[in-house]
C-alpha cells in the first residue's frame, strides 16, 4: 500500500464513528475528551500486574529453553560435521609420502 492509499484510508475512516469508545467525540467539540477514562480499583490493577508478570516469566522461560536447545543443536551439528570430515578427509597419506 502506498503513501497516498494510507492517507486516503485515514481520511475516509468512517469506522471511527461506529466505535463505542469514540461515541460523543467530534473534532469540532473542544469540550469532548474522546475516550473516557474510568477509575479502576487497586485489586484489578494488581491482578493485571500479576498476570503481566506471569506472562513475562513464561516468555523468559520459553526463550531460555529455545536458546539452550539451539546452542545444544549447534554444538551437536558442528561435532557431527567435524567427525564426518575427519573420517572422510582425503589428504597426503603415509603411503604416498614413503613410496
Domain range summary for the chain, segments of one domain joined by +: 41-88
**What Rg value do the Cα atoms of the chain yield, rounded?**
32
Question: What pLDDT score was predicted for residue 71?
Answer: 98
User: What would the pLDDT profile of 6-53 be if each residue is shown by its tens digit?
Assistant: 777 777 666 655 666 656 666 666 565 556 678 889 999 999 999 999
* pLDDT value for 3: 78
pTM over 0.85: no
* Alpha carbons 45 and 30: distance in angstroms, whole number: 31
* Complete DSSP assignment for 65-85: HHHHHHHHHHHHHHHHHHHHH
pLDDT band for 60, please (50, 70, 90 cuts).
Answer: very high
Any residues with CB less than 8 A from the CB of 51 and at least 6 apart, and which?
A: none
Amino acid at each position: 500500500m502506498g503513501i497516498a492509499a494510507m492517507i486516503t484510508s485515514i481520511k475516509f475512516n468512517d469506522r471511527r464513528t461506529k466505535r463505542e469508545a469514540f461515541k460523543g467525540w467530534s473534532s469540532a467539540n473542544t469540550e469532548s475528551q474522546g475516550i473516557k477514562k474510568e477509575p479502576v480499583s487497586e485489586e484489578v490493577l494488581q491482578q493485571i500486574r500479576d498476570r503481566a508478570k506471569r506472562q513475562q516469566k513464561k516468555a523468559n522461560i520459553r526463550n531460555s529453553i529455545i536458546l539452550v536447545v539451539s546452542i545444544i543443536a549447534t554444538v551437536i551439528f558442528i561435532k557431527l560435521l567435524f567427525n564426518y570430515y575427519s573420517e572422510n578427509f582425503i589428504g597426503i597419506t603415509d603411503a604416498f609420502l614413503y613410496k
